[in-house]
Structure 1
Amino acid sequence: MATAPAARLMTAEEFMRADLGEGPHELVRGEVVLVTPPPGYGHGSICYNLSGLFWEYQRRTGYGHAATNDSAVQTQRSPDTVRGADFVFFSNARWPKPTTFVTIPPIAPDLAVEVVSPSNRRGEILEKVAEYLNAGTLVVWIVYPKKRSIAIYRDAESPPVVLNDGDVLENFPELRGFRCLVSDVFA
């Protein structure tokens, strides 16, 4: 009895060069996965708010730089995994802002943010948290629009710190001088 040959796993570099067609994709352990359905307006609005808050933070402090819109973050090698983070922030100390076009940053971000969509499942969100942290991300925020809360993870084994609508995001050693109301993320 003949067995079908195993599909060849894609590398992060091949994934970033590939024409994958319509819709957002991620590379998960070497295999291309279509992210469905695409995020809605509320999701994009939260990412936009984060961009504005961090743009102001960067302008005021010069501490780092950010990217949004499912920016590529490599979380694993052999087989490769590339996630599309909703928002990432890098301190200039860990990775100075690049002066040329970069497809995949050479290091994990200081901060990775995922905004939970109705189609996301708890297990897949926790898998991403663990991947980001294991790759070297210092802190992960999971934003829950329906609850208007943010879960903050520094390691995959400990329960997160959860901040709600009336709380303040501040005193992060990874983000010196950053401060905003949780409600600003949902404004």
Structure 2
Amino acid sequence: MMPVILSLDTVELTDEQFWRLCQQNRDWQLERSAKGELIVNPPVGGTSGNKEAGLISLLWLWNQQTRLGKVFSSSTIFKLPGGGDRSPDAAWIKLERWQALSEEEQEKFPPICPDFVIELRSRTDQLKPLEEKMQEYINSGLLLGWLINPQDKQVEIYRPNQAVEVVNFPIDLSGEEVLPGFILKLPL
């Protein structure tokens, strides 16, 4: 099943209305692109769900040891400073940046770009929309992002002010300065 993308060119959907729309439709994974498109994402299958859970678990375990930030699942929508309301498959934010948000901002869709994200391409995902989503994160202040593409056995690594680096499996990905000491061995 492919995502459904609805153009909202002539419809003004406020942040509060988008929040309420998501609350009323909890069974749907909704996002808004920086272009204002409403994206309805289908659920993932067992293989992708298992890999996503593994990624979040590994990131969470690293963070439990370092206590440097907060880890978020694919159910979290971030209101990006560069536009769009996006939900990465796994995300991490430095603790001091998270604590700078008010309690209300933390409860709703946090108005912050994660410092680190992972997007995992599922079997039905088209690559170009995921690459555009990664660019939205970079435009919003992302420090490091991995677009993991099991179909092509590659990872696209996103960093600010740098060309996208493409590496092939097998690879040990480093969290670099953003996630010191975090290593992800691919394939999962």
Matched with 1:14 is 17
How much has 1:106 moved relative to structure 2?
Answer: 2.8
- In structure 2, the CA distance between the partners of 1:31 and 1:103, relative to structure 1 (3 Å rule), is same
The CA RMSD over aligned residues, in Å, is 2.6
How much has 1:70 moved relative to structure 2?
Answer: 3.6
How much has 1:147 moved relative to structure 2?
Answer: 3.7
Q: Note if 1:33 corresponds to 2:46.
A: no
- In structure 2, the CA distance between the partners of 1:21 and 1:172, relative to structure 1 (3 Å rule), is closer
CA contact (8 A) 1:75 1:134 kept: no
Q: Note if 1:86 corresponds to 2:92.
A: no
CA contact (8 A) 1:168 1:181 kept: yes
CA contact (8 A) 2:155 2:168 kept: yes
- In structure 2, the CA distance between the partners of 1:12 and 1:168, relative to structure 1 (3 Å rule), is same
Pick 1 or 2: higher relative contact order, CA cutoff 8 A, min separation 6: 1
- In structure 2, the CA distance between the partners of 1:121 and 1:146, relative to structure 1 (3 Å rule), is closer
Larger CA Rg, structure 1 vs 2: 1
Aligned-partner Cα distance in 1 for 2:55–2:124 = 21
Aligned-partner Cα distance in 2 for 1:169–1:97 = 29
Matched with 2:57 is 52
Which of 106, 110, 119 is residue 114 of structure 1 equivalent to? Answer: 119
- In structure 2, the CA distance between the partners of 1:58 and 1:21, relative to structure 1 (3 Å rule), is closer
How much has 1:95 moved relative to structure 2?
Answer: 2.3
Task: Give the TM-score normalised by the residue count of structure 1.
Answer: 0.80
Unmatched 5+ stretches in structure 1: 1-5
Aligned-partner Cα distance in 2 for 1:97–1:66 = 16
Count of residues in Structure 1 that have an aligned counterpart in Structure 2: 175
49-58 or 98-107, larger mean C-alpha shift: 98-107
Q: Note if 1:177 corresponds to 2:177.
A: no
Alignment deviations for residues 97-121 of structure 1 (CA, whole Å, 9 cap, x no partner): 9795522223210111111123322
Unmatched 5+ stretches in structure 2: 1-8
CA contact (8 A) 2:172 2:183 kept: yes
CA contact (8 A) 2:121 2:127 kept: no
Identity within the alignment, %: 26
Q: Note if 1:124 corresponds to 2:124.
A: no
CA contact (8 A) 2:156 2:164 kept: no
Amino acid at match of 1:33: I
